[in-house]
Every structure is written in C-alpha cells, then in structure tokens.
Amino acid sequence: MKKGLFITFEGNEGSGKTTVLHRVVEMFKKEYIDIFITREPGGNKIAEEIRNVILDNKNTEMDSKTEALLYAAARRQHLVQTVTPLLNEGKIVISDRYIDSSLAYQGYARGVGIDDVYKINMFATDNCLPQLTLFFDIDPDTGLERIAENSQREVNRLDNEQIEFHRRVHMGYMLLVDKFKDRFVIVDASKDIETVTQQVYQILKDYILKKWTDC
C-alpha cells in the first residue's frame, strides 16, 4: 500500500486558495488520482461546531488564548476522526488550513506567541505536521479587496479585523516560510485564477509522483 500524503494550503484571507484547491482536485480526478479535501477549522461534525463558535461575528469579545485553544481542539478532532484514518488507508489528504494558520493568526498576529501556539498544537496533534504546505502569497490589501468584491463568500469574524491585523498575519506566514522552508512552497496568488491553478496543479503533480515513486 502506498503511504498517505498530507498536504496543506495556507494563506491570508482572499488569497484564492480554496477556489484553487477545488479546481485542482477536479483536474486530478480526470487522471484518476483521488484526493480527499477537508478544511480547518472543521472537517467533521464536532470540529465544524467549534468552527461556528470561533468564526461567529457575534463573538468579538473572544480572548486570544481562548481562540488559540479552540482552534487546537477543533484540529485534534479533525485529525483523529478525519485525517489520520485516511492517511492510514494510503490516501492523499489536502486540508484548507492547518497548524500554520494558528501560528500566523494567533501566534504572531494576536501576539500569543508562535512558540507557545506551536507547543499547544504539537500536544493536540501528537506532533503531526504536513509533508508539504503551499502558501498562497498575496498582499493583504488585495486579498481583502477580493473578499469585498465576492458577494458569495462567507464573511467571518476574522475578515472584519482591521487591515493591520491582516498585515501581521502575512508577516507571520513569511516567518513560518523561513522557519519551515523544508516543507513550504510559495505560490504567487496575485496572478489570475487560471495561472495560479495551473501552477498549483504542476507543483502537486510533481510532488505526488515523486513521493509515490519513492514508496
């Protein structure tokens, strides 16, 4: 049996990663490569319920450490109930956000501390990190402009933060790209959706073929 592959997509709000993820997976289906898509926070019933609490626009008074702990709790449930069983079956799993989101948003942008949030999540996930992370790099101002223009997109509590918060998130991600350069690949998300989709498709295809050939 081939080993399962755990891949994550990360990026600021409005980076287009979710749209690209679904487009790319449809392309792989035509080649009979089955990829399981999931997301964070969420991915199963309990984790989705925690997601609703975290992202509810009414919960503006939520403490930063409470937020970080809720994300870790949702992640734990997501991992043990959804991700790990699929990986044990040799599946390819791509998650729309994972640990790096907590490190950038709560660890850096909220000021909780990247190292502290990392420790919380290593406990929650039994030290499970993705093998490959694609970071959709876009200027935060541009990302928020995209959100404003997309009437069909869910607008959550994080979208409503001030621009300075989103700039700190981006800076946090750049620190992570440097810290975990062995698994991060940067995608220029400022380009048009077709160009980004083709770029991501090629990155994933090359990676999947190499990893499965090495098995």
Q: How far is CA 78 from CA 84, 107, 156, in A?
A: 9, 20, 20
The answer to whether the annotation marks 29 as part of a ligand binding site is no
As a whole number of angstroms, the distance between CA 37 and CA 196 comes to 18
CA angle (123 as vertex; 126, 4 as ends), nearest 5: 25
- Cβ–Cβ under 8 Å, residues 133 and 185: yes
Is 15 annotated to bind a ligand? Reply is: yes
What six digits make up the tokens of 179?
């810290």
Answer yes or no: is 16 a known binding residue.
yes
Strand partners, 6: 93
User: Which one-letter amino acid corresponds to residue 174?
Assistant: M
Q: In whole angstroms, what is the distance from residue 80 CA to residue 97 CA?
A: 16
**Tokens (6 digits) for 198:** 């083709």
Q: Give the bridge partners for 188, in sequence order.
A: 137
Is 45 annotated as ligand-binding? Answer: no
3-class state of residue 61 by DSSP: coil
Q: Is 111 annotated as a binding residue?
A: no
* Residue 13 labeled ligand binder: yes
Would you say 18 is a known binding-site residue? yes
Binding-site residue ranges for ATP? 11-18
Binding-site residue ranges? 11-18
